A and B are shown apart, each in its own frame.
Chain A
Amino acid sequence: MNRIGVFVCHCGINIAGVVDIEAVKKAVASYPGVAFARDYTYMCSEPGQDLFRKACTSGEVDGIVVASCSPRLHEATFRHTAAEAGFNPYRVEIANIREQCTWVNSVDPQGATAKAIDIIQSLVERTRRDESLVESTIPVTKKALVIGAGIAGMMTALNITGSGYKVYLLDREPSIGGRMAQLSETFPTLDCAQCIFTPRMVEVGQNRDISLRTYCEVEEISGYVGNFTVKIRHKAAYVDWNKCTGCGMCTEKCPTKVKSEFNMLLDDRKAIYTPFPQAVPNKVIIDAENCLYFRKGRCRICEKTCSLGAVDFEQKDWFEDLEVGAIVVATGFDLYDKENIEEYRLGYSEDVIDGITFERLLSASGPTQGRLIRPSDGRVPEEIVFIACVGSRDPENHFPYCSRVCCMYTAKHAALYKHRVPQGQAYVFYMDIRSAGKNYEEFVQRAVEEDEIMYIRGRVSRMYRDDGKIVVVGADTLSGTTVEVRADMVVLAMAIRPARGLEELVKKLKIQTDANGFLAEAHPKLRPVETLSQGIFITGCAQSPKDIQDTVAQSGAAAAKVVELLSKEQLTHEPIVAFVDEEICSGCGQCEGQCTFDAIELVQRRGNPAMGIPDRTVAKVNEILCQGCGACIVTCPSGAMNQKNFRLEQVYSMIESFI
């Protein structure tokens, strides 16, 4: 291959204003193997593309170098045009003479001109060694798995099935619903969470295209975009869910009481139970840790009670393989444990609670039927303190980020308190009020003005118990004084954290988290629901703290990305991937350990005993999994690993052209 065409783009004055285009053209045109060198003001414009297209179809060249901006901007543009014109797109290369030349050397036009020539010539060397690569194609399994069945996972699943695809909806809890099922009223409209949420739960439960996989955990994930195999563990419920109708007789008869996790330990559940009355699916599980039979070998009252014979003490965990084309992670959040706030600990009692616990106290379906009373003695709190930003926005001691919903739900909590206890006094200690959302600021102002909530701008430095009260000591930074409130109850707006166990799930999925442990998106602005692993998407609080509104919107976006993927008959895969020269490979396996995409495996190659060639082990690249990152290539001690169209020979030729 010795006929390379070169186009030099002026990029207006970005390039032409610094380098001497004519000199560049002249020097490049006489370089060995170059068929022509042409220029144009904007190669990316339609007339520029026309010039390029003509070169592709004329048959005068078998490789093209476009000297212009960074390949990140327009490599795809030119390769796309080439492919449409019937020219192999992988024989088109970009010489970056803007970002790496004219922009950084604008004060030295002569030097920049010489450098531009060098850069183009090095790309000519590489292009003449390029191969005509062909993209590989992969089929797509037209089903999705959504991990986490809170509001984020549920809405994602509903949106995907709305486009006609099937979804497995998985949750580690026995019921779908997640955190939103625990909420009382929701801001800024104060509509009851149950009223707007349980219909959605029923809809999910009845949707024929959604297969629930509750009380399940993700065990192992293999495969790649369009073709994942997810091994899940069905945790032993000790109840045959095919038989159980959720009648509740067993729960009624069970003699063992355990603190209810759903009600934030405010009341009791039984050892055989559903987490809450509206659970979907409405099936019971036995909590083996607390069940009398599992602990002491006697009881089995539930077994005797169940007329359907659903109780099965012999049940074991079992596994199932799910084949899906796309995965959405919607694992939600936990609240930061209040024990981490050292300076408040002397104040802790049953009456110092976090926001979710307060939601359960407010909830009409909660342990008090919505009566606002102190957990410790059942008295109505006359003075109540809400503290915002506990653990959030505190980079030195806890977390640097804003948990984003606390300002709003704290205003909501204080307002709901006042609606239930009109004679009471609510105090809110805050840093700033962040109420940027539709009707949010109005909501906070109503709480301040109409509900007469005392907003105190400052942090609480400590609290302690005194005569059944909790003394809250804080600063009022607007008046410059110290404030002490003798409160009956304190509600802490604890920082939002990724749900427990996300770290392990992330390792199985091979996706990334950010510095705070939340899932990392592929691009913070332009690819907010994708991950760097193709086919895996994210939504909800697992990605960052956010409210219901934003979660629902983001879940729509995640579903759209899933549908975009599943709607394709097949996927194409970029052919610029690693490959092994088996003649040189010694099978040491170092590349295998380096690969974060599991794209390399060691395989056996039969030798020829007659010719004295023994069997040997060599590395093999799975071209579909390989993302072309190059980590294996720099690791390979023998140079057996190479990247297509980035072969060592090509890189050396580029370096030589500079010397």
Chain B
Amino acid sequence: MSVLELSYMPGCTLKTKAKNFETTTLRLLELLDVQAEELPDWYCCGTTYSLASDNVINQLGPIRTLVKAKESGREELLVLCSMCYNTLRRAQELVRSDEEKRSKINEFMYDEETDFSGDEVRVVHLLTLLKEEIGFEALKQKLLKDAGDLKVAAYYGCMLLRPREIAVDPVPEHPSILEDLFAACGVESVYFPFRTECCGSYQTVNEKQVVISRTRAITESAVKNGADLIVTSCPLCYYNLDAYQPKVAEATPGFRRIPVMYVSQILALLAGLEETQDFNLHVVDPRPVLREKGLIGKDAVAAGEGE
């Protein structure tokens, strides 16, 4: 089997809070004969795409990363984090469609050897890679375990679906890419009306109450509809939904916690790559559910557990 080679931009959280997302994804991709080469020199994406039309400076980070990707000679740049995906894709669209901004941005590329015109690199999110280039069927071939009656709440958040032009799903208001992926892997997705609701995003910095109420609404909907886990691919959604549950529980009598996991964690478990995960990074421990569903050994201690 030929090896698919692409550039990889992890972004900041993948190296810190979202380590589980990176380690499981990279091991999974190895298994799928995808070689993801981390760019030697990538920049912070800026986290949010600036909507101020004269704010060109915020676009420099993503564009510099895209220039690096272009200079690597590889056609595709893999991104895992939804925030990175959103800012990179939108900055790319800006450069592609606005000639004036393009030349202004390129004037700032002191350290880069070439300019960027918008078309040289395809920014591809993990879900798109799995769907369009690897194929859900090929992925399924690599899985060893049966998910049994595990029920997940597939959670998209906003950044992969908005605006419409960059969405990872052709029907952004009623997406199915996550559910389709799970269905192909034999995992049942529950009816989950809050799947594209905003998690509160970076309001986590200064409007914690917003995030608490969002987390409550989203997790309660998942629990009510019978999910064992919430599965997402966004590090910020993951953080808000996981880390805020104790705060929600304080204010909500009878609140039932639900573990939150990255999509790649579930896929890695199904592929038998149990050792790739550090369950200590979770606030709501997923191990009881995973043990019950037979996805981790009864007494197997995953990396980091018990340390």
Binding site for B on A (CB under 8 A): 342-343, 345-347, 462, 464-466, 471
**B193-A342 in contact (CB<8A):** no
- Say yes or no: B173 contacts A343, CB within 8 Å: yes
In B216-264, which residues have CB < 8 Å from any A CB? 224
Do the beta carbons of B193 and A466 come within 8 Å of each other?
yes
Chain B interface main SS type: loop
CB-based nearest A residue for B195 = A346
Query: When the two chains form their complex, are residues B193 and A464 in contact, meaning their CB atoms are under 8 A apart?
Result: yes
Closest partner residue, chain A, to B225 (CB atom): A466
| Structural contact, B174 and A465, CB atoms closer than 8 A | no
The complex places the Cα of A342 from the Cα of B195 at a distance, in Å, of: 14
Chain B residues lying within 8 Å of A343, measured Cβ to Cβ, are: 173-174
A346 touches B193 (CB 8 A): yes
B279 at the interface (CB under 8 A from A): no
Q: CB of B171 within 8 A of chain A?
A: yes
Distance in Å from the Cβ of B93 to the closest Cβ of chain A? 16
CB distance from A133 to the nearest CB of B (A): 55
Residue ID in chain B nearest A339 by CB atoms: B174
Distance (whole angstroms) from the CB of B286 to the closest CB of chain A: 26
A residues within 8 A CB of B174?
A: 342-343, 345-346
Which residues of chain A have C-beta atoms less than 8 A from B193's C-beta? 346-347, 462, 464-466, 471
Measured CB to CB, the closest approach of chain B to A466, in angstroms, equals: 7
Contact of B172 with A by CB under 8 A: yes
A591 CA to B173 CA, complexed, in Å: 48
| Chain B residues within an 8 Å CB radius of A466 | 193, 224
- Chain B residues contacting A346 (CB-CB under 8 Å) are 174, 191, 193
Residues in A whose Cβ lies below 8 Å from that of B171: 342
Decide: A342 and B191 in contact? CB cutoff 8 A: no
Bits for B271-282, please: 1 = Cβ < 8 Å to A, else 0. 000000000000
Q: Per-position contact with A for B187-226: 1 when CB-CB < 8 Å, else 0?
A: 0000101100000000000000000000000000000100
Chain A hits for B172, CB < 8 A: 342
Contacts of A345 in B (CB 8 A): 173-174
Residues on the B chain within 8 Å of A462, using CB: 173, 193
* Interface pairs (21), CB distance under 8 Å: A342-B171, A342-B172, A342-B173, A342-B174, A343-B173, A343-B174, A345-B173, A345-B174, A346-B174, A346-B191, A346-B193, A347-B193, A462-B173, A462-B193, A464-B193, A464-B194, A465-B191, A465-B193, A466-B193, A466-B224, A471-B193
Which residues from B are CB-within-8-Å of A464?
193-194
For the complex formed, measure the closest distance between the CB of B167 and the CB atoms of chain A, giving whole angstroms: 11
Q: How far is the CA of A343 from the CA of B174 in the complex (A)?
A: 6
Distance in Å: Cβ of A483 to nearest Cβ of chain B = 16
Nearest residue (CB) in B for A345 is B174
B278 to chain A, nearest CB (A): 34
The distance in angstroms between the C-alpha atoms of A157 and B194, with both chains bound, is: 53
The residue among A346, A347, A466, A471 with the most chain B CB atoms within 10 A of its own CB is A346
**Which residues of the other chain, B, contact A465 by a CB distance below 8 angstroms?**
191, 193
What's the nearest-Cβ distance from chain B to residue A115, in Å?
40
Question: In the complex, A462→B224 CA distance in Å?
Answer: 19
Distance in angstroms between the alpha carbons of A346 and B173 in the assembled complex: 10
> Which chain A residue has the least Cβ–Cβ distance from B197?
A462
B248, chain A: closest CB distance, angstroms? 19
Contact indicator per residue, chain B 116-155, by CB within 8 Å of chain A (1) or not (0): 0000000000000000000000000000000000000000
CB distance from A465 to the nearest CB of B (A): 7
Q: Which residues of A contact B194 (CB under 8 A)?
A: 464
B173 neighbours in A (Cβ, 8 Å): 342-343, 345, 462
Q: Which residue, of B171, B173, B191, B224, has the highest number of chain A Cβ atoms within 10 A?
A: B173
Q: Distance in Å from the Cβ of B191 to the closest Cβ of chain A?
A: 7
**CA gap between A347 and B171 in the complex, in Å:** 16
Bound state CA distance, A471 and B191, in angstroms?
Answer: 14
- Nearest CB to that of B172 among chain A residues? A342
**B160 → chain A closest CB, angstroms:** 15
| C-alpha gap A207/B193 in the complex (Å) | 56
| Nearest Cβ on chain B to A7's Cβ, whole angstroms | 55
* A465–B173 CA distance with the chains assembled, in angstroms: 16
> What separation, in Å, do the CA atoms of A462 and B171 have in the docked complex?
14
| B191 surroundings in chain A (CB, below 8 A) | 346, 465
- In whole angstroms, how far apart are the Cα atoms of A465 and B190 in the complex? 13
Q: Kindly list chain B residues whose C-beta atoms are within 8 Å of the C-beta of A342.
A: 171-174
What 18 additional pairs, Cβ within 8 angstroms, besides A342-B174, A345-B173?
A: A342-B171, A342-B172, A342-B173, A343-B173, A343-B174, A345-B174, A346-B174, A346-B191, A346-B193, A347-B193, A462-B173, A462-B193, A464-B193, A464-B194, A465-B191, A465-B193, A466-B193, A471-B193
B89 to nearest A CB, angstroms?
Answer: 19
Q: Kindly provide the distance from the CB of A186 to the nearest chain B CB, expressed in whole angstroms.
A: 34
Identify the closest chain A residue to B224 (Cβ): A466
- Which residue of chain A is the closest to B171 with respect to CB atoms? A342
State in angstroms the CA–CA spacing of A465 and B171 once bound together. Answer: 20
Nearest CB on B from A125, distance (A): 49
- Looking at B172, B193, B194, the one whose CB has the most chain A CB atoms below 10 A away is B193
Bound CA span A246–B140, Å: 59
- CB-defined contacts of B224 to chain A, threshold 8 Å: 466
Query: Please, which residue of chain A has its CB at the minimum distance from the CB of B192?
Result: A346
Instruction: Please measure, in the bound complex, the distance between the C-alpha atom of A462 and the C-alpha atom of B197, giving whole angstroms.
Output: 10
Shortest distance between the CB of B110 and any CB in chain A (Å): 39
Q: How far is the CA of A471 from the CA of B224 in the complex (A)?
A: 15
B63 to chain A, nearest CB (A): 27
By CB atoms of chain B within 10 A, which of A345, A462, A471 has the most? A462
The CA-CA distance from A343 to B191 in the complex, in Å, is 15
Q: In the complex, A462 Cα to B174 Cα: how many Å?
A: 10
Inter-chain CA distance A466–B171, complex, in Å, is 23
> Which residue of B has the minimal Cβ distance to A461?
B173
- Which B151-194 residues have a C-beta within 8 angstroms of A? 171-174, 191, 193-194
Q: Give the nearest-CB partner of A343 in chain B.
A: B173
Select from chain A the residue with minimum beta-carbon distance to B175.
A342
B217 → A minimal CB distance (Å): 11
Q: Tell me how far the C-beta of A274 lies from the nearest C-beta in chain B, rounded to whole angstroms.
A: 38
Q: Nearest CB to that of A347 among chain B residues?
A: B193
